[in-house]
Amino acid sequence: MSEKKVKIALVGAGNWGKEHARIFAERPDVEFCAIAGRTLEKTKARARQFGVRYYVEIEEMLDKERPDLVSLCLPNKEHFDATLQVIRAGYPLFVEKPLVFKPAEADVLLDEAANRGLFFAINFNHRYARPVQMAHEAIAQGRLGRVAFATWRFGGEGYDCPEHENLIETQCHGFDMLEFLCGPIDSIAAQMTNTTGMQLSTMVLALRFADGSVGSLLGSYNTSYAYPNTHLVEVNGLKGRVVIEDTVRKFSFQKAGSETAEVWQAGYFNDGEREFRRTFDKHFDAVLDAFKKGEEPPIHAKAGRRALKLAHAAIRSFEEGRTVEVDPGP
């Protein structure tokens, strides 16, 4: 596999699917062959944009193209059937978050893929932002000392959330990043508001990590992505703290008691680190490298199941008015 181009087909012709297509088309080690979409005209237009073949049936695309890897980028609530179809056809796959909305569906996908020994990756690309990587490194090096607390805040414009769309679709990144930085969460206590006219579109969660530190997650669809620091992560330890601003915009480390901070921001010509979409490019570098080597993906789809498990623990906490314990498994 490492000595030839990897043949990739895409399921999904939407806006973020365009980023999948861009990455595949730009890579010299990828043969981007086809796009399957739900509507003929939209799919045809996207395929022509990238010079690939188009289909409106996944089965037909797989039968004719025989790709090495299938990438899926569909509307959030339409992941299960298409993903299961690709898995049962026996193809390695790379999927967008959220994995699905129902834990039972996630279990089916993971079990079916495992039974076939399939490569099964998920796109938690926030991990690959430069400030997040720098924060992870600082924590691993012990520069913060014993972590006391961590907090995540992320919000923007959104829509009604009758099935906890914000919590499951958007804040899955929060669950994943907090555990990436601080280790497993083992209990959650949740408050959510339905006073916004958009059902449960804003929530705040109190978290405890397995190492005894605590944290918080605040997510909202009742704010604006235009606001500065619409995304903010802080991890505070006894020796210092790190702060991540707007995912890709800024990283800072400051020692406890010091009035001087170390700060990283992308330079004038460093578009690759400054653009959020480029976190996907960096993640896919790692995905394709692992795939070529026959290794497990850098972020397995189990991470999507884990985020879903945490989200449903938060839902139970809110509905039952109690703290919910969470075991460390997917």
Q: Of the candidates 164, 241, 250, which has an alpha carbon nearest to the alpha carbon of residue 205?
A: 164
- What radius of gyration do the chain's Cα atoms show? 20
Q: In what order do the strands lie in the sheet with 240-245?
A: 261-264, 250-255, 240-245, 231-237, 147-155, 214-220, 202-209, 185-193, 324-325
Tens-digit pLDDT profile for residues 161-189: 989 999 999 999 999 999 999 999 999 99
CA gap 40, 191 in Å, rounded: 43
Lookup: tokens for 199: 């059902």
Lookup: tokens for 25: 């088309």
CA gap 125, 319 in Å, rounded: 31
Percentage of residues of the chain with pLDDT beyond 70: 99
Tens-digit pLDDT profile for residues 108-151: 999 999 999 999 999 999 999 999 999 999 999 999 999 999 99
What is the CB neighbour count within 10 angstroms for residue 220? 23
CATH C-level class of 126-275+308-325: alpha beta
Q: Which fold has domain 6-118?
A: Rossmann fold (3.40.50)
pTM of the model as a whole: 0.96
What DSSP element (H or E) covers 241? strand 240-245
Tens-digit pLDDT profile for residues 184-233: 999 999 999 989 889 999 999 999 999 999 999 999 999 999 999 999 99
CA gap 206, 138 in Å, rounded: 24
Tens-digit pLDDT profile for residues 54-77: 999 999 999 999 999 999 999 989
Domain limits of the chain?
6-118, 126-275+308-325
The runs of H, that is alpha helices, within the chain are: 15-26, 40-50, 58-65, 79-88, 103-115, 130-140, 165, 172-182, 271-274, 278-293, 302-320
Query: Which residues, other chains included, contact 309 with Cβ-Cβ below 8 Å and sequence gap of 6+?
Result: 103, 326, 330
3-state SS, 135-185, equals HHHHHHCCCCCCEEEEEEEEECECCCECCCHHHHHHCHHHHHHHHHHHCCE
Contact 73, 13 (CB under 8 A): no
- pLDDT at 27 exceeding the cut of 60: yes
What is the CB neighbour count within 10 angstroms for residue 27? 17
CA gap 21, 42 in Å, rounded: 14
Contact 34, 61 (CB under 8 A): yes
- Taken as a whole, the chain contains a residue count of 330
Q: Is 185 exposed, middle or buried (0-12, 13-18, 19+ CB in 10 A)?
A: buried
